[in-house]
Chain A
Amino acid sequence: MKTLIVAERKDGKLRRVTLELAAWAAGKGEVEVVELTGERFSPGAAAQALAARAEGAQLVLAGATAFGRDTGARLAAKLGRAYISEAMALDVADAVTAQRSAYAGKVRATVRAPLPAVVSVRPNTFPLPAGAKEPSVTAIAVGAEPGLTFERFEAIPDSGTGRVSLAEARVIVSAGRGLKAPENWKLVEELADVLGAATAASRAVTDAGWRPNEEQVGQTGKTVAPDLYIALGISGAIQHLAGMTSSKVIVAVNRDPDADIFKVCDYGIVGDLFEFVPRFTEAVKTVKAQG
C-alpha cells in the first residue's frame, strides 16, 4: 500500500501533525510526503497540483487543519474518492475505518470507506515517538487558478499567532464570560505562557469582540482535543462542550458549583478565577523552574 502525506509547515518547521502522520504511516508500506509551495494558493490549485501524485496512492492523509480539511475535500472530489474528515482513530486493511465525531460532537461515528481514499486526521490522534526522525519531503509547486486572484492579507491585530496553533496545541487555556472584561485577558496569556499553551475562548468572548473568532472553541468554532484543556469562567453550554470534550484531561474553574462544565471535567475548582489563576500560574512556574 502506498500512503501519500500532505505536509504542512509553520515558521519553517514541519507541523507536528505532519510528523504524527508520518510516524503512523511508517511501516505500513510505501510512504511519500509532499509539501505544496507557492504564495497564497487556492484549494482548487492545491488539489490540481496534488492530483497526479495522489492518483498512485491508496491512502492520502492530511492533518485536519483548516488547510488540510479543505484541500482533502477538494482533492477527494477531483479523484472521485470517498473523503473522511477529522478522523480521530484510523485503521487500514482492505478498507479504511475511522472514528470521528458527528452531530457537532454529540455523536461518535465509525465510518468506512473503500480504498483508495482521502482522510484528514485530527492533530494529536497518533503518538509521536520520541526521537522520530523527520521524513524527507518532496516539494510541489502550486500555480494560480483561473478566475481567482489573491489581493492582500488583512492581519488581525493581537491575534494569538505568536503561540502554538489552537488545532495542534497539547495544552489550551480557554476563558469565557467569567473573565468579565477584555483587559483581564492578560491573566489567560500569563498562564498560557508558563504552560507553553495556546489560548482559546467561548463564543460569549468572541461575540463580545474580546478575542478574534479564530480562537473560539465549540460547535461554531474549532474542535480541539489537547492533552490538557483548562476552562476558566466557562459555563459549559452544549455548543461549547461540542468542541472540547475529546480533550484528554479537562480542568474547570467556575464560581458556580452547578455549572455544567463540572460534569465533564477531570479536576474542578469552585471559586473565583481571579483568585485562582494568578496562584496557579505561580505554582506552575515554580515546578517548571525545578525542572
Chain B
Amino acid sequence: MKILICLKQVPDSTVRVKVAPGGKDIVTEGMTWAISPYDEYAIELALEVKDGDPTTTVSVVSVGPARARDALRQALAMGCDDASLVVGEASGLGLSRALAKVVMEAKPDVVLCGKQASDDDQGFIGPALAEALSWPHVPFVTKLAGASGAVEAWRETEGGHEVWKASAPVVLTVQKSAKEPRYPSLPGIMKAKKKEIPEREIVSLNVDTSGQTLEIASLEPPPVRGGGKMLKDGDMAAIAADLVRLLREEAKVL
C-alpha cells in the first residue's frame, strides 16, 4: 500500500502562545515547533500498517515555511520513507488544491490528514482535499487495515466505531487513537539525517485560488479566568452542602 500523509508544523503543545502586537498573528520568536498532534497519530497509524506489511511506503508532505523541514525530518526519523516540502503560504481552498496536486503526482492509495491542525483548529483541509480530488473521505479514523486492493478504516462515532471499506483511493482524517505515536529511534534519526528532502515553491504548482477565503480579523488571549472561591469552611459534608447552595443561588447552574 502507498500512503501519503499531509503534515503541518505548529507550535508545540506544551508552549504558551502569545498574541503579537497588532493582534493578527502570534509571537513566533523563540517558538518551539512540532508536528501537529493529530498528524503524529496519522504517522503512527501509517507506520503500523508498514510494520505489518513492509512493502507499504509512507511519504509525508508539508506546505509551509523552510522551518517545516524540521517536522518532516522528525517524521522520517519516526520511520517514514520519504518527505517533501512545498515552500509557501496557503490556507483554505487554495491549500487543499495545492495538496491535491501533490497527491495526483504521487498517486497514493491512501491520504492521511489530521482531524484538525492545532493552530487553526479548523478541520477543513482533510475534507476539502478529498473534495478537490473527488475522492471519498472517512473522518475521525483511529484504525487502518489494508486488505487486498482495499482498506478498512475505523471511524469513531458515538458509542463505537463504524468500519468502512474503501476500494482505494481514499482520504482519511485521523483521530487520536489508543496507540501513542512512537519516538524516533537512534538509527531512525541517523537515517533521517542522510535523507534528501526535496522542495519546491508553491507557485510552481499553479494552484487555482478561486473561491471564498476566511480572514482573521483579530487574535486575543482567551478571557482570563481565576479569582475563584476556595471552599474550606467546615468538614467535607458542610463544604459539599455549601457548594450546592453556591451553584444554585450564586452561579445559577443547578
Q: Which A residues form the contact surface with B (CB < 8 A)?
A: 40, 42-44, 47, 66, 69-70, 73-74, 76-78, 80-86, 97, 100-114, 116-117, 145-156, 159, 161, 165, 170-171, 195, 206-207, 209, 213-214, 216, 219-221, 227-228, 238-239, 245-246, 248-252, 262-271, 275-276, 279-280, 282-284, 287
Given contacts A103-B17, A117-B212, contact A161 B130 (CB under 8 A): no
The reply on B213 being an interface residue by CB < 8 A is: yes
Residues of the B chain whose Cβ atoms lie less than 8 Å from the Cβ of A206: 178
Residues in B whose Cβ lies below 8 Å from that of A165 = 158
- Which 9 residue pairs are nearest across A and B when measured between Cβ atoms? A80-B211, A77-B128, A77-B131, A73-B127, A74-B127, A161-B159, A279-B240, A155-B160, A82-B212
Residues of A within 8 A of B177 (CB): 213
Stretch of B42-50, B70-78, B191-199, B216-224 at the chain-chain interface? B216-224
Q: Does B82 contact A (CB under 8 A)?
A: no
Among the listed stretches B8-16, B54-62, B182-190, which one makes contact with chain A, having 4 or more residues with CB under 8 Å of it? B8-16
8 Å CB contacts to A: which residues of B1-60?
10-11, 13-14, 16-17, 19, 26, 37-38, 41
Query: What are 8 contact pairs spanning A and B, CB under 8 A?
Result: A44-B135, A82-B212, A97-B217, A107-B221, A113-B214, A155-B160, A206-B178, A268-B228
Residues in A with CB closer than 8 Å to B122 are 73, 83, 85
Sample of 4 further A-B pairs with CB below 8 A, known A73-B126, A268-B229, A271-B236: A77-B127, A106-B221, A219-B13, A264-B226
Query: Are A44 and B137 within 8 A (Cβ)?
Result: yes
Q: Is the CB of B231 within 8 A of A269?
A: yes
User: How far does the alpha carbon of A52 sit from the alpha carbon of B159 in the complex, in Å?
Assistant: 32
Asked if residues B231 and A267 are in contact (CB atoms below 8 Å), the reply is: yes
Q: Please name the residue on chain B nearest to A238 by beta carbon.
A: B14
Interface pair A107/B140, CB less than 8 Å apart: no
Whether B136 and A85, one on each chain, are in contact in the complex, defined by CB atoms closer than 8 angstroms, is no
Chain B interface size, under 10 / 10 to 19 / 20 to 34 / 35 or more: 35 or more
Interface residue B204 (Cβ < 8 Å from any Cβ of A): no
Which residues of chain B from 136 to 182 have a CB within 8 Å of any chain A CB?
136-140, 142, 152, 154, 156-170, 173, 175-178, 180
B203 contacts the other chain (Cβ, under 8 Å)?
A: no
**Which residues from A are CB-within-8-Å of B246?**
267
Known contacts A108-B220, A219-B13; is-contact A80 B212 (Cβ 8 Å): yes
Q: Does B202 contact A (CB under 8 A)?
A: no
Q: Tell me whether B121 is interfacial, beta carbon within 8 Å.
A: yes
Query: How distant is B210 from chain A, measured CB to nearest CB, in Å?
Result: 7
Asked if A151 and B152 sit within 8 Å, CB to CB, the answer is: yes
Nearest A residue (CB) for B231: A269
A147 B131 Cβ-Cβ under 8 A: no
B247 interface residue (CB < 8 Å to A): yes
Establish whether residues A66 and B236, one from each chain, have CB atoms under 8 Å apart when the complex forms: no
A108-B219 contact, Cβ under 8 Å, with A147-B170, A267-B229: yes
The reply to whether the CB of B241 lies closer than 8 angstroms to some CB of chain A is: yes
How far is it, in angstroms, between the C-alpha of A165 and the C-alpha of B157 when the chains are bound? 11
| B160 CB to nearest A CB, Å | 4
Q: State A113–B102 Cα separation when bound (angstroms).
A: 27
Query: Does A42 contact B222, Cβ atoms closer than 8 Å?
Result: no
B154 CB contacts on chain A under 8 angstroms: 154
Flag if B136 contacts A148 (CB, 8 Å). yes
- Complex CA distance for A47 and B136, rounded to whole angstroms: 11
B45 to chain A, nearest CB (A): 14
How distant is the Cα of A43 from the Cα of B212 in the complex, in angstroms? 21
* Residues A279 and B237 in contact, CB atoms below 8 Å apart: yes
Question: Closest residue to B223 on the A side, CB-wise?
Answer: A108
* A70 pairs with B130, CB closer than 8 A: no
User: In the bound complex, what is the Cα–Cα distance between A52 and B156 (angstroms)?
Assistant: 28
- In the bound complex, how far is the Cα of B23 from the Cα of A269, in angstroms? 36
Q: Which of A70, A74, A154, A280 contacts B161 (CB 8 A)?
A: A154
What's the nearest-Cβ distance from chain B to residue A252, in Å?
Answer: 8
Which residue of chain B has its CB nearest to the CB of A280? Answer: B240
* A107 and B220 in contact, given A77-B124, A83-B214 (Cβ under 8 angstroms): yes
Taken together as a complex, chains A and B put the C-alpha atoms of A86 and B168 apart, in Å, by 30
Q: Does the CB pair A70–B121 fall under 8 Å?
A: no
Asked if A74 and B166 sit within 8 Å, CB to CB, the answer is: no
Complex Cα spacing A195 to B161, Å:
28
Q: State whether A276 touches B123 (Cβ < 8 A).
A: no
B104 interfacial by beta-carbon distance below 8 Å:
no
Distance of A146 from chain B, by nearest CB (Å): 7
